[in-house]
Structure 1
Amino acid sequence: MVRPGDTVLVHEAPIYPTTATLFDRMGLRLIRADFHDPEALRAVADSDVGRQLRIVHVQHTRQQPEDRYDLAMLVPMLKELFPQARIVVDDNYAVLKTPKIGVEYGADVSTFSLFKLMGPEGVGCILGPQDVISEIDRQNYSGGGQVQGWQALDALRAMIAVPVLWAVQGKVVDEVASRLNAGEIPEVEKCLIANAQDRTLLIRFREPIARLVLEAAPSFGAIPHPVGANSRYEITPLFYRISGTFLERYPELADFMIRVNPLRAGADTVIRILREAIKEAKRCS
Structure 2
Amino acid sequence: MPGARSAGPSGPARRSTRSVLLPAGRGLGRLGTVLVVVPALWCHRCLLTPAGHAVAWLARGVGAGLARVHACVLRPIGQAVAWLLTGIGAVLAAMGIGVYTAVARLARCLLVLPAHWLYDRVLAPVGRAVARCGRGLGWLLGVFGTGVAMALYWALRVLIVLPALALWRRVLAPVGRFLAVVTREVGDALGHAWRIAGRISRAVGRVLGTLFRWIFVEPLRWVYRTVLTPVGHLVRGAVLRPAAEGARVVGRAVREALTSARDTVRQARADFRRILFGEPRQPAAVDRREPQGPATRTLGSSTTALTKD
TM-score class normalised by the smaller sequence: under 0.3
Higher helix share: 2
Higher strand share: 1
What TM-score does the superposition give when structure 2 sets the normalisation length? 0.17
Per chain length, whose mean CA-contact separation is higher, i.e. which structure has more relative contact order (CA < 8 Å, sep 6+)?
A: 2
